[in-house]
Structure 1
Amino acid sequence: MDLKEERVAIVAAGAVIGVIAAMLVFFGNPANMGFCIACFIRDTVGGLGLHRAEAVQYIRPEIVGLVLGSFLIAIGKGEWQARGGSAPLTRFVLGFCVMVGCLMFLGCPFRMILRIAGGDLNAIVGLVGFACGILAGTWFLNHGYSLGRTYRLPASEGAAWPIIQVVVLALLVVAPAFIFFSPEGSGPGAKHAAIAISLAAGVIVGALAQRTRLCMVGGIRDMILFREPKLLMGFGAILVGALVTNLVLAATTGNAYFNLGFEGQPVAHNDAVWNFLGMALAGLGCVLLGGCPLRQLVLSGEGNGDSAMAILGLAVGAAFCHNFGLASSAKGATPAGQVAVVIGLVVVVAIACANSICKKKA
């Protein structure tokens, strides 16, 4: 496939993903949250009882579907390979910090685009912060940042993560007494599409993202480093696909699928400083990880154990944020969350320095 064909494929996949994300809201997901990797991991760990914020407790089939979609297409294309060993604990810490930033903003890079498609102008502030974080990250890349090489691992290592996803899905379907569900009307966790629809959407998006290597961080990073816009074009297509679908749904149903402005946005706040800093932390951390949360899920489906460690970091970070009052709400950022973001920025900068500038001096 030449570059032109690759760009067309990425744009087409992005448009399909944008439509699917918007339609998930139509089928029951929270507004402007057809997909949100950070929010859905948070909901899932809540469903498993790792935090007790009852407004956000539901095992999200979309997360399972993303991993399984990537896994199945990678197997089919002969691209699946168990690998890992590239600073797994560091990746765990980076994932933790990325989640702190995302829950300050109330969304991952994927949801940031969907929030813009729903008319939420606060997400544009987040986008600026995200781009600044990536810009800082590319500076470290240019100065030799690396977490080291990965190594081939036994197939059982790579297969463990998809198997875990199947077990989590079974827990959702069987719903034993120790699994938590947000009470009706309590918050975002109580809003969800049917399991089959959510799972199918996740599988399709996971397969498309695996084939096209879609990554919001990679798109901005590649544009800065190489002036290559193809991945960024994919997220532009997600924006257009979701925006058009939202406008069509608003016109045909009479419901508010599109609301242009800063005020009254669903599951969002309008504190510009902390929207900016939260996504700056997420952007910098994702560059150091080598991809956004969506990309980490896709890589984990391909057999990458290091990405699975990053996702575990995201999961523990989500539980920590809700257990200790770090996550924002529609009322704005919490004081503890503000402190956590500042600490997170210090930690990721320290990791970046230790694995670039300091490594060179040593």
Structure 2
Amino acid sequence: MDILKEKKSLAIAGTITGIISVALVLFGNPTNMGFCIACFYRDIAGSLSLHSAAAVQYARPEIIGLLLGSLLISMARKEFKPRGGSSPVLRFVISFFVMIGALVFLGCPFRMILRLAGGDLNALVALFGFIAGIIAGSLLLNRGFTLGRSIKQSPIEGGAISIVFFVLLLILIFIPSLLKFSTSGPGSLRAPIILSLAGGLIVGSLAQRNRFCMAGGIRDVFLFRDTTLLIGLVMVFVAALVMNLATGLFKFGFVGQSVAHTNWVWNFLGMALVGYGSVLLGGCPLRQTILAGEGNSDSAMSVLGMLAGAAMSHNFGLASSTQGPTVGGRIATILGFIVITTIALVVIQIQKKGVVYGN
């Protein structure tokens, strides 16, 4: 695909994604949460009884759709090439802290853009943090950080995570009594299953086709002065902004925003941690989900790390509320920076000694 066609494809994909995101809110999802990868993994963790926060428990079909959409389009295009073995445990740990940062902010990079398109200025503060984290992570990439090479794996390994989530979909539809469902709070606000699943399938297909990544667009601008991937992110914002203005969902300001808090320091730092970890992983939570769907078992480990981070956040009071961040959440965020930085510096030192890390 030449550069002009790639940019056009990204612009179309971003526009469609932004429209679907607001449409899902109109059909029942929480405000500015047509998609939120972090929030939806948190809800799934709750539905599986991995945490007991009653307000955030629902097996979100959007996530299942993203995985299956990526799987199906990659198979149709003969791009389903299972690979893995690139520092899976380190990926798990980094993803764990990415989730903690996201839940301190109350949203992933995807929801950050949707919140901003809905007039939530707290998300603007978070965007600055996200950019700062990406720049910090990119500097480590320039110093030689890498999680190593992946190797070819079996189709069952590459497809395992998608199979697991497909089984979850079957349980949601046919044996819902096995799952937990919120009766109040964000988890109780949901679009019909068929619409949520369809939205996920479409966005998953588009994201797989266009290498859609919230962190990658900003990283490429900083490292390579390449704005190509950034086009998708910008068009999600523009399309969602227009939709919000047209439907009366736009609410400008800091105060009174849906599922949000106004502590600017921890909005900044929470999303900075997300950007920091995402760059080192090679993609934001959305990108990790899409890669997992197309057979990357390393990204499947990232998905499991995010689920674990969501469970830990709510079991130990690390996630923020509309009242602001908790003491535990602040400590966990700082610890996340320390742990991820330590991992990166140790890996860089190993690289300098000539060890081919990850093999």
Common fold: TM-score over 0.5: yes
**For 1:269-305, what per-residue CA distance to the aligned partner results, in whole angstroms no more than 9, with x for missing partners?**
0000000110111100001100000000100111000
TM-score by length of 1: 0.96
Structure 1 residues 169-248: aligned runs within 5 Å: 169-183=169-183, 186-248=184-246
SS in structure 2 at match of 1:59: coil
What is the rounded CA distance, in whole Å, between the counterparts of 2:171 and 2:310 in structure 1? Answer: 20
Give the structure 1 partner of residue 310 of structure 2. 318
What is the rounded CA distance, in whole Å, between the counterparts of 2:312 and 2:337 in structure 1? Answer: 17
Between 29-38 and 163-172, report the one with greater CA deviation: 163-172
What is the rounded CA distance, in whole Å, between the counterparts of 1:209 and 1:157 in structure 2? Answer: 22
SS in structure 2 at match of 1:54: coil
State the 1:175 CA deviation.
3.7
State the 1:159 CA deviation.
1.6
Give the structure 2 partner of residue 253 of structure 1. none
Maintained 8 Å contact 1:120/1:262:
yes
What is the rounded CA distance, in whole Å, between the counterparts of 1:129 and 1:159 in structure 2? Answer: 34
What is the rounded CA distance, in whole Å, between the counterparts of 1:171 and 1:247 in structure 2? Answer: 37
Give the structure 1 partner of residue 260 of structure 2. 268
SS in structure 2 at match of 1:62: helix
C-alpha RMSD over aligned residues: 0.9
Give the structure 2 partner of residue 254 of structure 1. none
SS in structure 2 at match of 1:55: coil
What is the rounded CA distance, in whole Å, between the counterparts of 2:227 and 2:142 in structure 1? Answer: 19
Matched, 1:90 2:90: yes
Give the structure 2 partner of residue 292 of structure 1. 284
Give the structure 2 partner of residue 360 of structure 1. 352
**For 1:134-171, what per-residue CA distance to the aligned partner results, in whole angstroms no more than 9, with x for missing partners?**
00011011011111100001111012111111101111
Q: What is the aligned-residue identity percentage? A: 56
- Return the letter of the residue paired with 1:86: S
What is the rounded CA distance, in whole Å, between the counterparts of 1:161 and 1:48 in structure 2? Answer: 15
Structure 1 residue runs without a partner (length 5+): 251-256
Maintained 8 Å contact 1:65/1:199:
yes
Maintained 8 Å contact 1:121/1:262:
yes
What is the rounded CA distance, in whole Å, between the counterparts of 1:276 and 1:292 in structure 2? Answer: 17
What is the rounded CA distance, in whole Å, between the counterparts of 1:192 and 1:172 in structure 2? Answer: 13
State the 1:361 CA deviation.
4.8
SS in structure 2 at match of 1:356: helix
Structure 1 residues 119-198: aligned runs within 5 Å: 119-183=119-183, 186-198=184-196
Structure 2 residue runs without a partner (length 5+): 355-359
SS in structure 2 at match of 1:29: coil
Matched, 1:105 2:105: yes
Maintained 8 Å contact 1:24/1:193:
yes
Maintained 8 Å contact 2:171/2:178:
no
Structure 1 residues 4-83: aligned runs within 5 Å: 4-83=4-83
Maintained 8 Å contact 1:49/1:178:
no
**For 1:11-69, what per-residue CA distance to the aligned partner results, in whole angstroms no more than 9, with x for missing partners?**
11101100000110000000000000000000011011110100000000000000000
- Return the letter of the residue paired with 1:26: L
Maintained 8 Å contact 2:18/2:239:
yes
State the 1:177 CA deviation.
3.0
TM-score by length of 2: 0.97
- Return the letter of the residue paired with 1:223: V
Matched, 1:307 2:305: no
Count the aligned residue pairs.
354
State the 1:358 CA deviation.
5.0
What is the rounded CA distance, in whole Å, between the counterparts of 1:220 and 1:210 in structure 2? Answer: 18
What is the rounded CA distance, in whole Å, between the counterparts of 1:42 and 1:156 in structure 2? Answer: 26
The structure-2 alpha-carbon separation of the partners of 1:328 and 1:69, relative to structure 1 and needing over 3 Å to count, comes to same
What is the rounded CA distance, in whole Å, between the counterparts of 2:300 and 2:26 in structure 1? Answer: 30
State the 1:355 CA deviation.
1.6
What is the rounded CA distance, in whole Å, between the counterparts of 1:211 and 1:83 in structure 2? Answer: 18
What is the rounded CA distance, in whole Å, between the counterparts of 1:92 and 1:205 in structure 2? Answer: 25
